[in-house]
C-alpha cells in the first residue's frame, strides 16, 4: 500500500513537473530575498546585503539544476544507463554472449526466413484489385468422387447470361506448349494465353499502351488481335510503337492492339501473348471442363451467395447445353467456387503452415537453450546480485538488470537473425522456388521486419522469464548466496528444477520435430516405391513439337489432307529420331498434355458396350499415342498387343485401356481384349486390343487414373519421347534437333526436359518439406546436445566436492561417469516420453502431407526415441568424463 502511494506521488510529481519548475524559481527568489532582508537588518547597505545573500546561497543555477534532477523522473535515462551497463557486462562475457546470440540468431533467422515466405505467399494480397471479389469457377461431382472440375465455354455462356451474383465472368485457357511467332527473322516460340475479353478487365489490367479486348474481338470471325506483355514489347519491338503491327501467330496474322503494364503477371504463367479465345456458342456442350473460369462478384456478395447462384444455374446449364436426354443424376454436379487467392496458393498453404509451425518449435527450443544459459549465468552472478541486494537494490532493480541484459541478447539475436534470414532466404527459395506461385513475391518487407522485432521481444520474454522468476524471492536465497561468496555458489533445488524443466521441454520439442522429419522421410520412401508405370525415367528425353499449318509445305491445304500430312510428318520424325545413334526407341503422344506427370491431361466420358448409354459416366483420362510410346516409357503391356502404324493411319478402329480400367469394367485385364467401347452414342464401336500397366499421371501420391488410349491422331502439337543411354550427354540433344530438321527445317523444339526431371519435379513439394524438416530436426538435435551438455556440465561443477569425496573414498571412476550419464538419460527419457505424446497429437495435423505412412508409425517413433537417448548419452559423456577425471586431492584442498 505504501509503495502504491509512493508510486502515485511520483506519478503526480511527473505531472506537476511544470508547476515544480516554475515554483523552484519563485522559491529560490524568496529565499534570497529573505536572506537579503536579514542582512539589511544586520546593518548592510541594500546592495551589499543582496550580494552577500547571493554569495551565501552559492551558484543559483547549479542549485536549480541539481534540484531539477530530483524531480525529473529519470525513466528513460535510467533505461539507457541500464542498457549501457548491460552491454558492457555482456562484452565482458564474450563466450556466453556469442553462444546465446548465435543460438537466438539461428532461431530468429530461420523463423524470419520462413515467415517471409508465408507472408509473401499466404498473407499478402494478390496483385489484382479487390481480390476479395475474385473467384475461380470450380465445380464438384461428388457422385463421381471428383472434387475439382473447372470451366468450359458452356459454363462461361450459361453463367455470363444467367448469373445474379457475378458482375463479370471470363474464361481463359493456358496452352502449355508455346505458339510459334513467325515473321522477319527466326521463328520464335512464345508462351500464350487465350482469354475472353472479360479476363483482363476482371484482373484490373489496364493496357499500358493501346486498349484491352472488347466484345467485338471475342466474336468468332472477327479480325484476329493480340495483346502483348510489357517484356515481350521490349524484346520484340525494342520499345518501338507496337500498335497496329502484325504478329504471325501459328500462321495467323494478328494485329497488336495493346501492351500490358510491366507490373502485370498472369498468375504463375509467364505469358507474353494474349489473344481472344472466341468461344463458339453453338459448339459449346456440357459436361466439359476444358478451360478455367474466373468471375468478379458483385459488391457485397459472399462466396456462399455465389455458390447458391451457381447451384441455381446448373439446371439451366444442363438443359441449355447438354445432349438431349443425358442423365446427370449420378454425377451430382455442384458448385465449389474458390477465392482466387486460394486457387493460386492451393495446397501449398498447408505445407507452409506446417513448416512455419515446426520452425516456431525450433525457436522455442533455441529460447529454452538460451534460458538455461542465462540461468546458469545468473547463478554464477549470485554473489554480485546478492551484494547489490544488500546495498539496497530492490528486487525490481535486480530484475531490471537481468531483463535488460536479456533484451540486449534478444535484440542482438534478432539483428543477426535478420542477417541469417537475408542470406538464408534465397537458399530456401532456390530449394522451394519451383513449387511457389510466381505471381507472389517473397521478400523481407516491413511486415516481416516488424514480426522479426516482435519475435525477438517475445523470445526475450520467453528466455528471460525463468531467471526472473528465479531471482523473484530475493530474501532467502540471496542471503545464502552472499554467505556463499567465494565458494562455488549454488542455488539448490529450485535452480535444478528450472534447469530440468527446460531440458525436458527441449527434448520433448525435439522429439516432435524429429518425428515430423522421420514421417517425411518415410513418405518420401513410400513415394519412391510407388510404381509410376514407367521405368528408368532419366533415360527418356521429352520435348514438344508444334507443326503450324504454315509450316506444312503442300499445294493442297484442304483440312483432311493437312491432318494427314501432319501425321505423316510426325511419323517421319519418329523414324528419324529412332535412327539417331544410341536411341533405343521413340514415339509421341498427340497434343501437349499426353505425358505422365506433366501436370496436364484431358478427360472424356466413354461408353462401354452392354451398359446403358443414357447415363453420364465418370470421365476417363484419354491419351493418343504412337507406336513405340509405351515401349519408350517401358510401360509394360499386361494383355493383348500394342498399336502399330496401321492402327494409327487407319484411325478410329482400336483402343488400349489401362489395367485398372479393365478391372473396373471387365473384372480382369485378360478379359479386356475383344471388348468394345465408344465415345458417344453415335460414334462407331472401338475394339480393345491391349491393356497397359497403370501410369500415374497426376502425381505419385494420387491414384493412377483409368486411361483410354487411342492411336495417335493428327494434332498441331505433340509430345515426343526418346529413350537412349545418351540422354543428358553433350551433343545428344543437338543430334535429335538435327534429326527433326532433317524431316522439316521449320520446326523448333520446346519444353525440352527428361522424364526424370518430371518425376523429380512431381516430388518437389515433398522433397522441399523433407529438406526443411530435416534441417530443423537437425538443428533441434544440435541444440539438444548443447542443452544437455550444459546441464550435465553444471551438475558436475555443482557436485565437484561430492565427487571428490566419493573418489577419495574409493569410488570407481566408471561409477562416477555412470552417475552423470544416467542423470542425462533420465531427463532425456522424460522428455522423450512427453515428446512422443505431443507428437501423437500433433502429427495428425500433417496427415495431408504424408503418403503411405501412418502418423503414428512405430518404427519412426522408436528410431527418434533411440536417437535422442543416444544423443543425450553422448552429450552427457564429456562432462561425465571430466567429473571422473577429477583429482580428489585438488578438489578437496580447493574447498
Interaction of residue 26 with other proteins, rule CB under 8 A: yes
Angle in degrees, 0-180, between the axes of helices 60-71 and 17-41, rounded to the nearest 10: 150
**Does position 71 bind other proteins by CB under 8 A?**
yes
C-alpha cell at 350: 498447408
**Shorter beta-carbon distance to other proteins: residue 73 or 473:** 73
CB burial of 407-445 (b: ≥16 within 10 Å; e: otherwise) equals bbbbbbbbbbbbebbeebbeebbeebeeebbebbebebe
Residue 20 in contact with other proteins, rule: CB under 8 A: yes
Q: Does 269 bind other proteins (CB under 8 A)?
A: no
Segment contacting other proteins by CB under 8 A, of 58-66, 671-679, 785-793, 834-842 = 58-66
How far is Cα 133 from Cα 167, in angstroms, rounded to an integer?
10
Supply the minimum distance, in Å, between the C-beta of residue 12 and other proteins: 10
Q: Tell which one of 17, 22, 25, 27 touches other proteins (CB under 8 A).
A: 27
613 in contact with other proteins (CB under 8 A):
no
Q: Pick one of 17, 25, 46, 69: the residue that binds other proteins (CB under 8 A).
A: 69
Contact between 51 and other proteins per CB under 8 A: no
For residue 265, the SS3 value is coil
**792 and 823 in contact (C-beta within 8 Å)?**
yes
Q: How far is the CB of 76 from other proteins (least distance, A)?
A: 17
Cα 138 to Cα 153: distance, rounded to the nearest angstrom: 14
**What sign has the CA pseudo-torsion 152, 157, 162, 164?**
positive
Q: Based on CB atoms, which residue is closest to other proteins, 33 or 494?
A: 33
Per CB under 8 A, the list member of 1, 2, 324, 858 interacting with other proteins is 2
- DSSP β-ladder status, 273-276 and 192-195: parallel
What is the smallest separation between the CB atom of 42 and other proteins, expressed in angstroms? 13
Residue 19 CB, shortest distance to other proteins, in Å, is: 10
Q: Is residue 304 at the binding interface for other proteins, with CB under 8 A as the rule?
A: no
Whether 613 and 655 have beta carbons less than 8 Å apart is answered as no
The two most distant CA atoms of the chain are separated, in Å, by: 141
Cell of 469: 522468476
Query: What is the grid cell recorded at 3?
Result: 509503495
- Smallest distance from the beta carbon of 5 to other proteins, in angstroms? 7
Smallest distance from other proteins to CB 64, Å = 8
Interface region with other proteins, contact rule CB under 8 A, candidates 20-28, 80-88, 397-405, 666-674: 20-28
Residues near 848 by Cβ (< 8 Å), separated by ≥ 6? 347, 350
Q: Measure the N-to-C terminal CA separation of the chain; round to a whole number of Å.
A: 46
4 touches other proteins (CB under 8 A): no
Is the peptide bond preceding residue 343 cis, with omega within 30 degrees of 0? no
Total residues at interface with other proteins (CB under 8 A):
29
User: 31 vs 235, which CB is nearer to other proteins?
Assistant: 31
Determine, following the binding rule CB under 8 A, whether residue 67 of this chain makes contact with other proteins: yes
List the Cα angle 667/669/673 in 5-degree steps: 110
Q: For residue 57, state whether it binds other proteins (rule: CB under 8 A).
A: yes
Distance separating alpha carbons of residues 9 and 613, to the nearest angstrom: 92
Among 43, 62, 184, 244, binds other proteins (CB under 8 A): 62
Nearer to other proteins, 50 or 723 (CB): 50
Interacting span for other proteins (CB under 8 A) from 52-60, 88-96, 555-563, 673-681: 52-60
Nearer to other proteins, 2 or 92 (CB): 2
Nearer to other proteins, 14 or 826 (CB): 14
CB of 34 to other proteins, least distance (A): 4
User: Is residue 75 exposed (0-12), middle (13-18) or buried (19+ Cβ within 10 Å)?
Assistant: exposed
Q: Is 393 in the site for other proteins (CB under 8 A)?
A: no
Of 61-69, 589-597, 695-703, 864-872: span binding other proteins (CB under 8 A): 61-69
Q: How far is CA 278 from CA 149, 246, 256, 603, 706, in A?
A: 21, 19, 16, 22, 32
Closest CA to 449 of 410, 409, 422: 422
Among 45, 47, 56, 536, the residue binding other proteins under the rule CB under 8 A is 56
734 binds other proteins (CB under 8 A): no
> 672 with 691: CB under 8 angstroms?
yes
Q: How much helix, strand and coil, in percent to the nearest 5, is found in the chain?
A: 55, 15, 30
31 touches other proteins by CB under 8 A: yes
Which of 54-62, 250-258, 389-397, 507-515 is the region at the interface with other proteins (rule: CB under 8 A)?
A: 54-62
The C-alpha angle 382, 385, 388, rounded to 5 degrees, equals: 150
Return the bridge partners of 432, or none: none
Rg of the chain taking only CA atoms, in angstroms: 39
Backbone angles phi, psi at 169, to 5 degrees: -125, 140
Pick from 86, 50, 203: nearest CA to 136: 203
Among 22, 47, 59, 129, binds other proteins (CB under 8 A): 59
Residues 416-455 that bind other proteins (CB under 8 A): none
Does residue 594 contact residue 580 with C-beta atoms inside 8 Å? no
22, 23, 270, 433: residue in contact with other proteins (rule CB under 8 A): 23
Please give the C-alpha separations between residue 514 and each of 386, 414, 848, 860, in angstroms, as whole numbers. Answer: 42, 25, 18, 9
Binding map of other proteins across residues 339-378, x = CB under 8 A, - = no contact = ----------------------------------------
Q: Tell me how far, at minimum, the Cβ of 1 lies from other proteins, in Å.
A: 11
Is 713 near other proteins (CB under 8 A)?
A: no
Complex with other proteins: residue 23 or 610, whichever CB lies closer: 23
User: Considering only residues 43, 58, 184, 475, which one is a binding residue for other proteins as defined by CB under 8 A?
Assistant: 58
Angle at 381 between CA 378 and CA 384, to 5 degrees: 135
Q: Which residue is associated with the grid cell 545468473? A: 378
Q: What are phi and psi of 432, to 5 degrees?
A: -105, -10
CB of 52 to other proteins, least distance (A): 13
Segment interacting with other proteins, rule: CB under 8 A, options 29-37, 270-278, 603-611, 664-672: 29-37
Exposure string (b/e) for 131-148, b if CB count within 10 Å is 16 or more?
bebbbbbbbbbeebebee
What is the closest distance, in whole angstroms, from the C-beta atom of residue 38 to other proteins in the complex? 8
Residue labelled with grid coordinates 475383344: 674
Task: Note whether 17 binds other proteins by CB under 8 A.
Answer: no
- Long-range contacts of 34-40, Cβ-Cβ distance < 8 Å, separation of 24 or more: none
Would you mind telling me the total number of residues written for the chain in this entry? 895
Residue 13 lies near other proteins (rule: CB under 8 A): yes
CB of 37 to other proteins, least distance (A): 9
Tell me the backbone φ, ψ of residue 774, rounded to 5 degrees. Answer: -65, -40
By CB under 8 A, name the one of 17, 22, 25, 34 that touches other proteins: 34
- Among all chains, which residue has been given the C-alpha cell 577425471? 885
Report if residue 5 touches other proteins, rule: CB under 8 A.
yes
Judged by CB under 8 A, the stretch of 19-27, 179-187, 614-622, 741-749 that binds other proteins is 19-27
If binding is defined by CB under 8 A, does position 66 make contact with other proteins? Answer: yes
CB of 510 to other proteins, least distance (A): 51
Shortest Cβ 362–other proteins spacing (Å): 48
Candidates 557, 543, 547; CA nearest to 745 is: 547
Give the rounded distance of the alpha carbon of 302 from its chain centre: 28
> For residue 569, which of 709, 717, 466 has the smallest C-alpha distance?
717
Choice between 29 and 649, CB closer to other proteins: 29
Q: Does 676 bind other proteins (CB under 8 A)?
A: no
Residue closer to other proteins, measured from CB, 72 or 162: 72
Q: Determine, following the binding rule CB under 8 A, whether residue 10 of this chain makes contact with other proteins.
A: yes
Residues that bind other proteins (CB under 8 A): 2, 5-6, 9-10, 13, 20, 23-24, 26-28, 30-31, 33-35, 56-59, 62-64, 66-67, 69-71
Amino acid at each position: 500500500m505504501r509503495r502504491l502511494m509512493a508510486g502515485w506521488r511520483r506519478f503526480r510529481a511527473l505531472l506537476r513537473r511544470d508547476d515544480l519548475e516554475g515554483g523552484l524559481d519563485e522559491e529560490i527568489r524568496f529565499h534570497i530575498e529573505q536572506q537579503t532582508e536579514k542582512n539589511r537588518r544586520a546593518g548592510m547597505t541594500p546592495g551589499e546585503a543582496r550580494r552577500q545573500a547571493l554569495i551565501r546561497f552559492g551558484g543559483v543555477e547549479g542549485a536549480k539544476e541539481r534540484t531539477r534532477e530530483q524531480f525529473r523522473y529519470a525513466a528513460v535515462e535510467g533505461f539507457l544507463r541500464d542498457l549501457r551497463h548491460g552491454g558492457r557486462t555482456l562484452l565482458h562475457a564474450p563466450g556466453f554472449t556469442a553462444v546465446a546470440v548465435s543460438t537466438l540468431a539461428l532461431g530468429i533467422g530461420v523463423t524470419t526466413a520462413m515467415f517471409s515466405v508465408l507472408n509473401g505467399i499466404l498473407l499478402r494480397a494478390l496483385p489484382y484489385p479487390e481480390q476479395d471479389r475474385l473467384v475461380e469457377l470450380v465445380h464438384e461431382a461428388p457422385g463421381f468422387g471428383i472434387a475439382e472440375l473447372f470451366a468450359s465455354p458452356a459454363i462461361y455462356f450459361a453463367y455470363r447470361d444467367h448469373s445474379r451474383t457475378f458482375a463479370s465472368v471470363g474464361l481463359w485457357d493456358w496452352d502449355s506448349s508455346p505458339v510459334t511467332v513467325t515473321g522477319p527473322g527466326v521463328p520464335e516460340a512464345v508462351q500464350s494465353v487465350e482469354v475472353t475479353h472479360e479476363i483482363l478487365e476482371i484482373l484490373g489490367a489496364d493496357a499500358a499502351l493501346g486498349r484491352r479486348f472488347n466484345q467485338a474481338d471475342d466474336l468468332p470471325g472477327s479480325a484476329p488481335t493480340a495483346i502483348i506483355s510489357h517484356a515481350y514489347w521490349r524484346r520484340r519491338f525494342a520499345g518501338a510503337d507496337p500498335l497496329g503491327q502484325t504478329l504471325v501467330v501459328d500462321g495467323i496474322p494478328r494485329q497488336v492492339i495493346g501492351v500490358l503494364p510491366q507490373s502485370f503477371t498472369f498468375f504463375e504463367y509467364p505469358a507474353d501473348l494474349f489473344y481472344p479465345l472466341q468461344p463458339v456458342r453453338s459448339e459449346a456442350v456440357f459436361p466439359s471442363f476444358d478451360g478455367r473460369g474466373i468471375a468478379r462478384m458483385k459488391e457485397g456478395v459472399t462466396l456462399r451467395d455465389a455458390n447458391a447462384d451457381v447451384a441455381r444455374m446448373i439446371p439451366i446449364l444442363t438443359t441449355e447445353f447438354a445432349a438431349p436426354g443425358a442423365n446427370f443424376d449420378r454425377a451430382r454436379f455442384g458448385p465449389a467456387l474458390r477465392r482466387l487467392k486460394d486457387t493460386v496458393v492451393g495446397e501449398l498453404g498447408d505445407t507452409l503452415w506446417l513448416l512455419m509451425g515446426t520452425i516456431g518449435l525450433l525457436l522455442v527450443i533455441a529460447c529454452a537453450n538460451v534460458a538455461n544459459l542465462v540461468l546458469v549465468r545468473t547463478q554464477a552472478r549470485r554473489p554480485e546480485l546478492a551484494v547489490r541486494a544488500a546495498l539496497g537494490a530492490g528486487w525490481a532493480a535486480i530484475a531490471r538488470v537481468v531483463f535488460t541484459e536479456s533484451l540486449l541478447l534478444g535484440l542482438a539475436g534478432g539483428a543477426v537473425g535478420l542477417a541469417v534470414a537475408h542470406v538464408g532466404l534465397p537458399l530456401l527459395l532456390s530449394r522451394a522456388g519451383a513449387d511457389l506461385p510466381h505471381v507472389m513475391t517473397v521478400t523481407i518487407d516491413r511486415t516481416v521486419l516488424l514480426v522479426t522485432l516482435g519475435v525477438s521481444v517475445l523470445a526475450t520474454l520467453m528466455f528471460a522469464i525463468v531467471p526472473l522468476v528465479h531471482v523473484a524471492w530475493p530474501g532467502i536465497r540471496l542471503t545464502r548466496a552472499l554467505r556463499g561468496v567465494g565458494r562455488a555458489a549454488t542455488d539448490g533445488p529450485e535452480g535444478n528444477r528450472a534447469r530440468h524443466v527446460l531440458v525436458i521441454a527441449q527434448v520433448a520439442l525435439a522429439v516432435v520435430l524429429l518425428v515430423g522429419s522421420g514421417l517425411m522421410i518415410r513418405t518420401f520412401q513410400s513415394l519412391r516405391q510407388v510404381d509410376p508405370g514407367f521405368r528408368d525415367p532419366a533415360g527418356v528425353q521429352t520435348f514438344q513439337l508444334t507443326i503450324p499449318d504454315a509450316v506444312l509445305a503442300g499445294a493442297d491445304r484442304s483440312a483432311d489432307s493437312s491432318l494427314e500430312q501432319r501425321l505423316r510428318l510426325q511419323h517421319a520424325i519418329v523414324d528419324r529420331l529412332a535412327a539417331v545413334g544410341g536411341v533405343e526407341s521413340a514415339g509421341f503422344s498427340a497434343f501437349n498434355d499426353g505425358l505422365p506427370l506433366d501436370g496436364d491431361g484431358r478427360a472424356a466420358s466413354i461408353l462401354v458396350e452392354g451398359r446403358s448409354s443414357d447415363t453420364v459416366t465418370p470421365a476417363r483420362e484419354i491419351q493418343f499415342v504412337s507406336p513405340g510410346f509405351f515401349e519408350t516409357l517401358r510401360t509394360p503391356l499386361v494383355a493383348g498387343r500394342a498399336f502399330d502404324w496401321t492402327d494409327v493411319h487407319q484411325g478410329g478402329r482400336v483402343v488400349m485401356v489401362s489395367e485398372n480400367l479393365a478391372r473396373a469394367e471387365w473384372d480382369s485385364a485378360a478379359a479386356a481384349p475383344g471388348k468394345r467401347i465408344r465415345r458417344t452414342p453415335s460414334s462407331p464401336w472401338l475394339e480393345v486390343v491391349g491393356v497397359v500397366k497403370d501410369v500415374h499421371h497426376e502425381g505419385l501420391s494420387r491414384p493412377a487414373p483409368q486411361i483410354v488410349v487411342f492411336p495417335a491422331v493428327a494434332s498441331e502439337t505433340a509430345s515426343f519421347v526418346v529413350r537412349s543411354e545418351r540422354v543428358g550427354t553433350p551433343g545428344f540433344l543437338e543430334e535429335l534437333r538435327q534429326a527433326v530438321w532433317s524431316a522439316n527445317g521449320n520446326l523448333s523444339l520446346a519444353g525440352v526436359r527428361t522424364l526424370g526431371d518430371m518425376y523429380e519435379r512431381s516430388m518437389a513439394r515433398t522433397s522441399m518439406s523433407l529438406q526443411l524438416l530435416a534441417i530443423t530436426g537437425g538443428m533441434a538435435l544440435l541444440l539438444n546436445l548443447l542443452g544437455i551438455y550444459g546441464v550435465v556440465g553444471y551438475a558436475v561443477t555443482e557436485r565437484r566436492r561430492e565427487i571428490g569425496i566419493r573418489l577419495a573414498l574409493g569410488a570407481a571412476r566408471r561409477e562416477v561417469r555412470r552417475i552423470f550419464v544416467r542423470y542425462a538419460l533420465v531427463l532425456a527419457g522424460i522428455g522423450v516420453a512427453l515428446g512422443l505424446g505431443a507428437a501423437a497429437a500433433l502429427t495428425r495435423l500433417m496427415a495431408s502431407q504424408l503418403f503411405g505412412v501412418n502418423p503414428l508409425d512405430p518404427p519412426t517413433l522408436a528410431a527418434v526415441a533411440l536417437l535422442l537417448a543416444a544423443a543425450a548419452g553422448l552429450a552427457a559423456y564429456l562432462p561425465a568424463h571430466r567429473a571422473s577425471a577429477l583429482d580428489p586431492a585438488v578438489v578437496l584442498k580447493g574447498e
